[in-house]
């Protein structure tokens, strides 16, 4: 008998490396493809109507408008990876947006301290979700639905009427209106993601989402990991809230409400599995940009904003069905 008792006689046909990479990242690749397509369609419509290609202004405003959603979607991704879902996104953004509009003022040092405190407030909100889900063993959807209302209520207390102000210097630092410099922050987020992917925490997040029981049997501290996931997500929503305030140069305690839904849309479009364990922040960022592009396209198609959510939903359904089909093709082509 040969030395290796498990070797197969027939040459063990291994799939080429490229096939593994394609198959294991089909969600991300699909998201990038849809994004490219939507950019082309938008650019085409823009060119036809304006007689030129979208320039600095259009690109900058698209990036600046997408920043809050992209950040919220990254947070949502981290939660969804653990087989959770976070509906409190909107409430946390409302609250942090209101705080930013009221307290951002004064010296640079003061503004930095205030910004950090707001991020901490978001993290604290996430921590509450995490404790209830992790320690309390409650359903994420129920917990975050409840905290969504709580945070929304708090936001109204903080800022009963839209208003407040964000200093112009602060705005131009985060969301320069002439150049898409905010992309730097997204690049930082992507870098952070790569770091997470290469850390113990990242491995644990994915492990829990893959199979919670198996992860525990492998020694993963599931409760702690869940708590950390919701907390990081909360901090990211806070950053989204700050960006939103900077963009609007003022605050509104209801402006974040829509992000609960759109962050989930972006995550799904970005190829993150709602069953957990599969997905990436880069995909979520793509998903966020796709969502914005859809809105832009609808605008240029002169579609009544009242029907906007109808079309958003339609695109989501098409993308999900399409994604499922592609996934099946990749698997059966093995």
Binding site for another protein (CB under 8 A): 1-10, 12-15, 17, 20, 23-24, 195, 197-199, 203, 206-207, 209-211, 213-221, 273, 277-278, 332, 334
Considering the complex, what minimum distance in angstroms separates the CB of residue 5 from another protein?
4
Considering the complex, what minimum distance in angstroms separates the CB of residue 83 from another protein?
12
Considering the complex, what minimum distance in angstroms separates the CB of residue 241 from another protein?
30
Q: Which lies closer to another protein via its Cβ, residue 68 or residue 276?
A: 276
Q: Which lies closer to another protein via its Cβ, residue 49 or residue 199?
A: 199
Considering the complex, what minimum distance in angstroms separates the CB of residue 324 from another protein?
15
The answer to whether residues 226 and 130 touch, using CB atoms and an 8 Å cutoff, is yes
138/280 Cα distance (integer angstroms): 25
The answer to whether residues 250 and 97 touch, using CB atoms and an 8 Å cutoff, is no
Q: Which lies closer to another protein via its Cβ, residue 137 or residue 334?
A: 334
Q: Which lies closer to another protein via its Cβ, residue 78 or residue 248?
A: 78
Considering the complex, what minimum distance in angstroms separates the CB of residue 334 from another protein?
7
Q: Which lies closer to another protein via its Cβ, residue 126 or residue 277?
A: 277
Q: Which lies closer to another protein via its Cβ, residue 234 or residue 279?
A: 279
Token pair, residue 160, equals 């009963």
Question: Which residues make beta-bridge pairs with 163?
Answer: 251
DSSP 307: G
Considering the complex, what minimum distance in angstroms separates the CB of residue 203 from another protein?
7
Give the C-alpha distances (Å, rounded to integers) separating 253 from 93, 127, 303.
9, 21, 28
Question: Among residues 64, 269, 75, which one has the least CA distance to residue 185?
Answer: 64
283/270 Cα distance (integer angstroms): 4
Phi, psi of 163 (to 5 degrees): 165, -145
Q: Which lies closer to another protein via its Cβ, residue 189 or residue 245?
A: 189
Phi, psi of 302 (to 5 degrees): 55, 45
Considering the complex, what minimum distance in angstroms separates the CB of residue 170 from another protein?
33
The answer to whether residues 232 and 75 touch, using CB atoms and an 8 Å cutoff, is yes
CB atoms within 10 A of CB 120: 14
- Residues 6 or more apart in contact with residue 215 via CB below 8 angstroms: 204, 207, 208, 222
């Amino acid at each position: 008998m040969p030395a290796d008792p498990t070797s197969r006689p027939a040459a063990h046909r291994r799939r080429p490396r490229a096939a593994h990479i394609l198959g294991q990242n089909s969600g991300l690749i699909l998201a990038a493809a849809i994004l490219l397509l939507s950019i082309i369609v938008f650019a085409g419509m823009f060119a036809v109507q304006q007689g030129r290609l979208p320039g600095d202004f259009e690109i900058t405003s698209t990036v600046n408008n997408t920043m809050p959603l992209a950040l919220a979607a990254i947070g949502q991704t981290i939660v969804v990876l653990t087989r959770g879902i976070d509906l409190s996104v909107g409430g946390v953004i409302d609250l942090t947006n209101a705080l930013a509009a009221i307290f951002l003022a004064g010296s640079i040092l003061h503004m930095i301290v205030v910004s950090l405190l707001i991020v901490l407030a978001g993290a604290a909100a996430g921590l509450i979700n995490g404790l209830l889900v992790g320690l309390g063993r409650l359903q994420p959807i129920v917990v975050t639905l409840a905290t969504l209302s709580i945070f929304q209520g708090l936001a109204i207390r903080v800022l009963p009427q839209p208003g407040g102000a964000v200093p112009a210097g602060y705005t131009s630092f985060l969301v320069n209106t002439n150049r898409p410099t905010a992309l730097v922050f997204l690049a930082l987020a992507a870098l952070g993601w790569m770091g997470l992917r290469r850390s113990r925490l990242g491995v644990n997040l994915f492990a829990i989402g893959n199979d919670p029981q198996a992860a525990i049997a492998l020694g993963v501290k599931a409760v702690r990991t869940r708590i950390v996931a919701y907390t990081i997500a909360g901090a990211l929503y806070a950053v989204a809230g700050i960006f939103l305030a900077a963009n609007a140069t003022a605050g509104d305690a209801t402006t974040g409400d829509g992000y609960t839904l759109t962050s989930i849309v972006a995550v799904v479009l970005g190829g993150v599995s709602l069953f957990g364990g599969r997905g990436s922040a880069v995909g979520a960022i793509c998903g966020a940009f796709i969502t914005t592009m859809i809105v832009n396209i609808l605008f240029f198609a002169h579609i009544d904003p009242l029907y906007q959510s109808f079309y958003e939903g339609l695109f989501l359904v098409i993308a999900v069905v399409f994604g499922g089909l592609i996934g099946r093709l990749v698997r059966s082509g093995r």
